[in-house]
Amino acid sequence: MWPNGSSLGPCLRPTNITLEERRLIASPWFAASFCLVGLASNLLALSVLVSARQGSSHARSSFLTFLCGLVITDFMGLLVTGTIVVSQHAALFDWQAVDPGCSLCHFMGVIMVFFGLCPLLLGAAMASERYLGITRPFSRPAASSQRRAWTTVGLVWATALALGLLPLLGVGRYTVQYPGSWCFLTLGAEPGDVAFGLLFTLLGSLSVGLSFLLNTISVATLCHVYHGQEAAQQRPRDCEVEMMAQLTGIMVVASICWMPLLVFIAQTVLRSPPAMSPTGQLSRATEKQLLIYLRVATWNQILDPWVYILFRRAVIRRLHPRLSTRPRSLSLQPQLTRRSTMQ
């Protein structure tokens, strides 16, 4: 219940939007087409991943496990959230009448946070795995790489779910957002709303920053080995270059899609005077900005699979045939080992 004692439920804010305005903004055909394209893209990427896992090396098998976790997460995120949004756009139902207890809104808020954070956390986990695989190739047993990767994916899912459940435990609130078709964290000035908004922003931003740092070091290491004194005899394997190209693409896509929303959330909850009034109202400009940034962030779930599909060796060699004629080596690891023994 809001402080003004209105009859609105705990997840409902006054939005002052008419049914006609909702029809103009909420197009069920656009939402359905968007979801179908994303679901088809992730299914295609998953089928390619399944075929690529056969006969792959330990290092590549671990990386492909992370990619499988990312594609499955993106697919389920589009499927679950898309079902709710498309249904709301088609029926234009009244949240207060359909969901007076806010169970559906709370569920959608949890999955929005969960499926939003998972790609960022998985990107950081993949960057860490590649960093250790390139700079510390013998620091981990290869036999357990795939099992360790699935364990890490499970921990990422558990972390994102734990954060998403915090508003149900009293830290922050999930409320219906403009134009009344989705639920997300509340950009209010209440201590719980500020804490949850900043925690969400901080965890997402740290994941992007860690990915950028570790990927930069990994790429620099590959370039050093590639252009080193023994480059003619020992160059990085094609698969290692391919994995770094895919991981860099995933990082760039996540940064472009998610950083505007994360920065906007932090700026809004820290704004003085508060952006949200005591009655729970946001300015129309703020509500529209949140909707735009959320739609941009959703593109991450569609673009992720295409990064993997398009950045494969088979595709790159078709675009640049000369790459298939250069000398290929067995591994990057011997040169790294040789460097460490000489120091």
| Per-residue pLDDT tens digits for 298-313 | 999 999 888 888 877 6
Measure the CA–CA gap between 127 and 248, rounded to whole angstroms: 9
Measure the CA–CA gap between 109 and 217, rounded to whole angstroms: 36
Q: Find the angle CA(224)-CA(140)-CA(136) to the nearest 5 degrees.
A: 15
* CATH class of the domain defined by 18-136+144-227+234-317: mainly alpha
pTM for the model = 0.85
The pLDDT confidence band at residue 231, using thresholds 50, 70 and 90, is very low
Please state, as a whole number, how many other Cβ atoms lie within 10 Å of the Cβ of residue 71. 23
Q: Where are the domains of the chain?
A: 18-136+144-227+234-317
Q: Which residue shows structure tokens 């009034």?
A: 277
Please state, as a whole number, how many other Cβ atoms lie within 10 Å of the Cβ of residue 80. 16
Measure the CA–CA gap between 170 and 159, rounded to whole angstroms: 18
Q: What would the mean pLDDT of 190-206 be, rounded to a whole number?
A: 95
The pLDDT confidence band at residue 93, using thresholds 50, 70 and 90, is confident
At residue 342, the pLDDT reads: 46
User: Is the confidence at residue 87, as pLDDT, over 90?
Assistant: no
Q: What would the mean pLDDT of 7-28 be, rounded to a whole number?
A: 73
At residue 138, the pLDDT reads: 57
Residue 63 Cα to chain centre, angstroms? 17
- Buried-exposed string 19-31: b where 16+ CB fall within 10 A, e elsewhere: eeebeeebebeeb
User: Is the confidence at residue 190, as pLDDT, over 80?
Assistant: yes
| Per-residue pLDDT tens digits for 244-288 | 888 889 999 999 999 999 999 999 999 988 888 888 888 888 998
The pLDDT confidence band at residue 334, using thresholds 50, 70 and 90, is very low
